[in-house]
Each structure stands twice: as C-alpha cells, then as structure tokens.
Amino acid sequence: MGAAIGPCAFSSLAATREWLRTDMARRFMRAYRKARAWLIATPAAEVAKAEASFFPAIDPGVLTATIATYQTLGNWTPHVEITRPAWEATVDIFLHAGLIKRRHRYEDVIAPPPGTP
C-alpha cells in the first residue's frame, strides 16, 4: 500500500485450520513460496508474459508496468506469513472503509502457514 500505510496483508490466503494441517496444504505452500520467490526475482516483463493469458484484455505494457510497480512497492515479500503489523494495518484499512465493524484479534484469525518452522 506504499509508504503512507506501510506493509499490509496484500497477498494473503484463506483456509480452514483443519486444511492447514494436511499434506495438500504443505504442498500448496511449497508451491506458493516458490511462486512468490519467482515474482520477486523475475523481471516484470517476464512475469507479465507468463500471466498474459489470465488478462487477455490488458495491454502487455500496462500489465508489465503494474507488476513492476507491485515489485517496487514490495507487495510480494519473501515470507508468506501474515505478520502482526501487516494484519493490524489491514484491519485499519477495512475499518476505515466500513467493510468491518470491529477489530478482530490476530490470534483468532491468523494461523501460521504450513511448513513454518
């Protein structure tokens, strides 16, 4: 969200705690971690080319510029867990926008991703 807001839970995932204990969840998170690392390390034009089929109505230059902006902002961090500061910033955003009515506790909503030491 940029310097004004700071880190927030931009690329986050939702799952039941039960599913998070499965082998499928661990395999999914391995692939998700690899994808995040690839997004961070790969030039925006290459990412845009790989994703172009998902955005057929978007000009390739616009897609490339958008991905480059996300990379510059640090939207895709190497870690996949939602940190407490990122959670709090996200709750602030949702409260401000009127999308939620109360502050939800981090411990009630956030679980460590599978494969987290």
What tokens were used for 74?
């640090």
* pTM for the structure as a whole: 0.77
Measured in whole angstroms, how far is the alpha carbon of residue 1 from the centre of its chain?
12
pLDDT interval class at 11 (50, 70, 90): low
pLDDT, tens only, 73-109: 877 888 888 889 889 988 999 999 999 999 999 999 8
Per-residue DSSP letter, 81? S
Distance CA 81, CA 18 (A): 17
Distance CA 13, CA 102 (A): 21
Q: Does 1 score more than 60 pLDDT?
A: no
CA distances from 102 to 19, 44, 86, 92, 107 (A): 27, 38, 17, 10, 15
Angle at 53 between CA 48 and CA 54, to 5 degrees: 85
